[in-house]
Amino acid sequence: MAEQILQVEHLEKYYQKKYVLHDINFHVDKGEVVTLLGPSGSGKSTLIRCLNGLEEYQQGTITFEGEQINPTEKNWQQIRQKIGMVFQSYDLFPNLTVMDNILLGPTKVQKQDKFAAKKEALDLLERVGLEDYANAYPRELSGGQKQRVAIVRALALHPDFMLFDEVTASLDPEMVRGILNIIQDLADVDHMTMIVVTHEMNFAQQIADRVIFLEDGHILEQTPSKQFFSATQTKRAQAFLDSMDF
């Protein structure tokens, strides 16, 4: 059995009496790619945000690399260096150049050597085809370029785990492929462990080892990807797939 990197047990999130996430249980193996699927409002984004402490949860535990997380802000600051996250709206810092966006984490948080960090950042930029944009400001980039920089910014911290929260949802269609290729490449070449929330079913099918299907804050099924896309275990998931155009 593969080594588990993340375990989520009995995770509950609610506001007053209203449940957002209900008894969430799953684990992720090292090197595994899990996609979270489900209709809008099912709690996918909330769940993925719980995994790096951007959302609080009321009950349950998250265990990362064998250690149960004590969810204080201070602990999360440490853990977030190991769990990279990329958002739908890129959220580069507009006051900093591309290079400074990337270097902020490595040099200020991790106190890496500036020279080495810079060289590595350039290598990463080259990998995503943006080596000429190191000194550009985010406002000079297209959406797809910004999102690539956001991915590089997360990778520069040497994370063990990546969370992708609908990273192609606000991109123009012709930009989507490039971003998905980068994520695919991370899975294939780097064997990066990741959780991907997406609405791109073709991509999910292509990249995922396993699918977790969520509805109304419940996990309805966890199925190996091949099986999920040929025959889901639940009718609800099948109806969801049938409604998607792919």
Q: Summarize as ranges the residues that interact with other proteins (CB under 8 A).
A: 52-54, 73-74, 76-78, 80-81, 84-85, 87, 89, 91-96, 104-105, 108-110, 139, 150, 153-154, 157
DSSP state of 174: H
Smallest distance, Å, CB 78 to other proteins?
A: 7
C-beta of 93 vs 246, nearer to other proteins: 93
Q: Tokens 């949860």 sit at which residue?
A: 57
| 121 in Cβ contact with 113 (< 8 Å) | no
CB of 227 to other proteins, least distance (A): 33
Complex with other proteins: residue 20 or 103, whichever CB lies closer: 103
Paired tokens of 111: 């106190």
Question: 43 or 53: whose CB is closer to other proteins?
Answer: 53
In the complex, minimum distance from the CB of residue 108 to other proteins, in angstroms, rounded to a whole number? 6
| Cβ nearer to other proteins, comparing 26 with 137 | 137
- Report the DSSP pairing between strands 161-165 and 67-68: unpaired
HSE (side-chain half, CA atoms, 13 Å) at 140? 11
**Angle, nearest 10°, between helix axes 143-155 and 173-190?**
20
* Gap between the Cα atoms of 111 and 88, Å rounded: 28
CB of 157 to other proteins, least distance (A): 6
Shortest distance in whole angstroms from residue 243 CB to other proteins: 29
Toward other proteins, which CB reaches closer, 79 or 211? 79
Taking each helix axis from N to C terminus, what angle separates 143-155 and 114-127, rounded to the nearest 10 degrees? 140
